[in-house]
Amino acid sequence: MSEENNVQGESPAMPTPEIPMPSLEKFIFEPDEYTDAIVPRRLRPTDVAKFLIDKVKKETSLESWRQVEKAADFYDTTEVLAKYRGYLDRKENNDEDIMRSMVIDRIIGTLGNAEDRDFARQYYLYLIAKTDSIEEFQDLISLHDRLGLGSDSAELRKRVQAKLALLESKKEAGYQSRLEYLKFQETIPATLEAVEKAQAIKDNTLKMADRTKRLEDEIKMYVTTDYGYQDYLLPFAARRIRRETWAPSVSEQVVRNDKPPLKDDVVKALRNYLDHIEKENSIDKEDKESFKVRVLRAIRFFDGHLSDQEQGILREHRGKQVDILANEGFMIRS
């Protein structure tokens, strides 16, 4: 800022001091193949957001951007959206650029308000024409999922069919060509169909105006495998439960803003579901144990009180299973 732009008597604005975040820095820029899915816990969301704004550039590697997406999602860092939207400028030059844009667009689609999501959808439509490799199609379908488009997939299906027809026309050219055709045929259409079916289940939950019933549904989706499509529904449910602490209605849950009374409601709903698990005889012993641990960790995650006996259960299972709504568990440093 030049001197003449300063108001007389005011000191020039000083940059906000950098907050060291070694665990997050390592997670993003030096990911380990065994722990790259486990976001560092117990960080302040505002600090995470500042780190993701200051340290992550458009040209940051695709591998690191995938880690950024996990951290941004877990900590609901809506603050990053304005800057990240600027990175989507339709100037992709290669496959890595295209997939990086898909990851950035997923972040915007996951965390954004209606305007952000509309922007993300328009960019998704642009990216459809850019998609070519099987890896790109997988990322694009994941973007379709995050945008909640479900069966609104005509453009994507058209692109999938065009690619499938091209691969089929070349499948007799050699072993690699046939292998590529078979891999695409066996994975991409089925993945898109699964995303569409999972979205129908999500939509039913999102339409529930009764928050108590909606919370019950979200917790069931998070804890059990009853709904199927775990790859899509479990992270969605975890995200939804976190957002239930922001505002009473889905339409208001757009900016991270934990409210103690709403957090208490979530803990109460988790307690109710724990009682249900205890009484349900149709759940086998191993599943019941896993479900109880998941719920107890979530109760503690939302600052709920655990009895000595319940804390003992968590100590006993400290090294077992990774849960999203938890600050403890396998490979999680607590």
Instruction: Write out pLDDT tens, residues 156-170.
Output: 999 999 999 999 999
Q: Which two tokens stand for residue 180?
A: 């590529």
Return the percentage of the chain with pLDDT > 90, whole number: 87
Global pTM value = 0.92
CA distance 62 to 139: 12
Phi-psi region of 329 (alpha: psi -120 to 50; beta: other; left: phi over 0): left
Residue 72 above 90 pLDDT?
Answer: yes
CA distance 238 to 106: 17
- Tell me the average pLDDT across 101-109: 98
Cα–chain center distance at 287: 24
Residue 277 above 80 pLDDT?
Answer: yes
Q: Which two tokens stand for residue 195?
A: 């995303």
Break the chain into its structural domains and give their ranges: 17-132, 148-207, 210-334
311-to-141, 223, 278, 324 alpha-carbon distances in Å: 40, 19, 17, 18
